[in-house]
Amino acid sequence: MRVSACVINWNGGRALGGALDSLVGQTHADLAVTVIDNASRDGSAALAREREVRLVGNLTNRGYAGAANQAVELATRDGADVLLVCNPDVRLEPDYLSSALAALDDAPRRAGVQGKLLRFSPGTAPGSGPAIIDTTGHRAFVTRLFRNRGEGLRDDGSFDTPGAVFGVSGAVAVYRLAALHDVACAGEVFDEELFAFWEDVDLDWRFALRGWHAWYAPDAVGWHERGGAGPRRSPTVERLNFVNRFRVIAKNDDPAALLRAAPGFAVTTALKAGELAVTVPSAFLRALPDLAALPGVRARRRLVQSRATVDPAAVVARWFEPFDYAAWMRTWWRRVRAEHRR
């Protein structure tokens, strides 16, 4: 398989070199590596030139979604079969790609493959600390919350079995290019209205609606410094995280299934809104006009739903799990108290 690997970078210079080294060092030979740089100001683009990989420099920040669409265009132009798209704060074992490709090639309706991503801390070498899972794929819940499977747990062998998952994390995603083109909406594979955050969940959902599925391959191992590239807890990040959830639901969900889940959805939404209003009030205020504009998603919803080959209710029934409210409340309360003490 011919693979196009694209690192989407925005001021990720501290981490970018390591990501590029791990991509250039992959055992799979038919691989082209590109950095798509979203108008970084930290000199990180020079790292791409030093390693003699292709560099696409954007004059403005197009967000993850816009840059990922550029990656799709480049992969198509290059005649690639597969697109690997990732953040700069990842490191991959040399056989990550070959293992992921073997899993992708094993079934024609596999749209994407998720490897086992472990977590590493800034300033440390991947694998030098305890083996803590970052993600083994996406989980979907009836509350319309989405989580990384296994996140924060020790890698004790519990996640060593391959299998189908709801979707793959955009931190490192290996996609079949034909599947990406199949789910394009309004000329975009990645929804650029999302800009950043939730674009991978949106893609997961659209794959499921078109009869594709994602696969977890535990023998593809990498590391992710979660939140390691770019600022976290900024008003922009928090606003996008809050609002994009509603955009994704509005576009992809089954109304009857959402109505049945309304009590749990309302409770978790109210708590998330309250937390945002208390901890990052400017983000909450900036989110209100975005929420008022949600009816504008209807045109994209019509396109997505008109092309669905799987009943949206069947997607929810297959993938959306019961939710542990007590555990989530404990985590939510600890987070609010920690933020309040700052």
DSSP string, 9-20: ESS-HHHHHHHH
Instruction: Give the pLDDT mean for 198-208.
Output: 98
pLDDT digits (tens, 9 = 90+) for 277-313: 988 999 999 999 999 999 999 999 999 999 999 999 9
Return mean pLDDT, the chain: 93
pLDDT digits (tens, 9 = 90+) for 127-157: 777 899 999 999 999 999 999 999 999 999 9
Half-sphere exposure of 222 (CA within 13 A, CB side): 39
Residue 233 pLDDT = 62
Residue 231 pLDDT = 44
Instruction: Give the pLDDT mean for 223-251.
Output: 83
Residue 228 pLDDT = 46
* Residue with the larger pLDDT of the pair 126 and 202: 202
Give the number of other Cβ atoms within 10 Å of residue 68's Cβ. 29
Q: 191, 240 in Cβ contact below 8 A?
A: no
* Lowest mean pLDDT, pick from 106-115, 121-130, 190-199: 121-130
Residue 342 pLDDT = 59
* Residue with the larger pLDDT of the pair 324 and 6: 6
For residue 216, pLDDT over 80 is answered with yes
Instruction: Please tell me the pTM assigned to this model.
Output: 0.94
Proportion of the chain in helix, strand, coil states, percent, rounded to 5: 45, 20, 35
**Secondary structure of residue 211 in the 3-state scheme:** coil
Instruction: Give the pLDDT mean for 58-72.
Output: 97
Burial of 243 (0-12, 13-18, 19+ CB in 10 A): buried
**Secondary structure of residue 158 in the 3-state scheme:** coil
